[in-house]
Amino acid sequence: MRLAALGCALLLAACATLAPNPPLAKYEPKAGYDFERLQRGAENTDELFVILAFSGGGTRAAALAYGVLEALRDTPIEWRGRRRALLDEVDVISSISGGSFPAAYYALRGRQIFEEFPERFLYRPVQSELVRQAFSPANWFKLLGSDYGRSDLAAEYYHREVFGGASYADVIARGTRPFVILNATDMTTGAQFPFIQDQFDPMCADLAGVPVARAAAASSAFPGGLTALTFRNYAGTCGYRHPAWVELALKDHGSRVNMRRTARAENRVALADPGRPYLHLTDGGVADNIGLRGPLAALTSVNHPWSVLRMMNERRIQKLVVIVVNAANSPATRRDQSASVPSLVDTVTAAATVPLDNYSFETLELLRSTVAELNHEPGALRIELYPVEVAFEYLQPAEERAWFKNLPTSFELPRETVDRLRAAGRRLLAEDPEFQKLLKTLRAQP
């Protein structure tokens, strides 16, 4: 009898999985979760355009990003003759892994995040709870299946415990900026995979039916600890056709005139391939751990789903603010104190993290050079640019900096650590020279 009851429970548990992402009945350009379809909001202007990029780094990243959101909420500005909070001017948030949790929560709940998110996520022992789930007999059947992994289990946990069962239909229903983009990585192409309808269109898939938790889980599917998440690709079933620029960019392949643009076109073609019925998405940090590549493409290309360059051509933007919240750590090591050959784990860890950190460094350099290039434009074209960087490396004194840089990447940190991270986010933002320059022009008063 007991065995039968256990069997039933296991079977029920096995069935209680999130449904696969649904197909898109008919392709319509710029439908669904699309930047241009979102209302700006009463307090938001295009003239002051604010982009936030939240990096990966588990709860460390989530708490730092949350601290920055709190600081923006508490920063009054005066712009176009009206007082408001700088948070009300945020137009886009691009996020990776741990940073995707506050980003997604803000997309869903707006300012309710400040009442709910700390207890729902930041202070919660998420990692222990995920491990407990993985070892629970109720989940064994599911985890034995070849099409179900630990990230599916994590997604179900986030769906239930963090995001309250919400899907992208709920985000779309809110209908206002910021446009929040959670990023994962397409394992096969290595390309960044943003959770926006423009990305799902070539797959003839409907983002509205995707639980926000699955996007957050894909964005934070740290290789090794968590598995990739599988998404269905229905390419060829909805009448999708590529935007005009794709064909032109593909033809540029031979001349190599702009390989970044050509690569984006090729990725789009790969998504629209009917011979690829499944996509496997892993942590967004594999493609870009600071969430800045999408914003950089938007800043430098007119062929982008939320092209900032196009808005600049339309003269809609006067001040452009890019706030990068980078929770990169750099744990101290005693490796060089000994002649011993580093262990396999040490070597593999270095092989996994060093390229990622180097790429993040180059991405930030690309932002700086893009800003420098735009700053050299003549007066008629010029806009004001404010690249702001919130990162532990700017903390003083050195002991405090070292303490933050030694924090582990985990979905579980002590409450006091989370509070220190929130405070560090506020402080680093306030101390950034570009942020101070911005506030001076916005006549903010405490």
Partner 1 sequence: MEYVKVTFPTRRRVYIDEEANGYTNRVLRVDAGTHRFDLGEGDSYRPRSRTVTVKDTSPEKPKRIAFRRKKA
- Where along the sequence are the contacts to partner 1 (CB under 8 A)? 243-245, 248-249, 251-252, 255, 257-258, 261-262, 300-303, 307, 309-310, 312-315, 373-374, 377-378, 380-381
**Min separation Cβ 260 and partner 1, Å:** 8
**Min separation Cβ 380 and partner 1, Å:** 7
Nearer to partner 1, 9 or 257 (CB): 257
**Min separation Cβ 251 and partner 1, Å:** 6
- Euclidean distance between CA atoms 361 and 105, whole angstroms: 28
Nearer to partner 1, 287 or 374 (CB): 374
Nearer to partner 1, 261 or 426 (CB): 261
**Min separation Cβ 359 and partner 1, Å:** 21
Nearer to partner 1, 136 or 313 (CB): 313
Nearer to partner 1, 127 or 258 (CB): 258
Nearer to partner 1, 75 or 192 (CB): 192
**Min separation Cβ 255 and partner 1, Å:** 7
**Min separation Cβ 403 and partner 1, Å:** 41
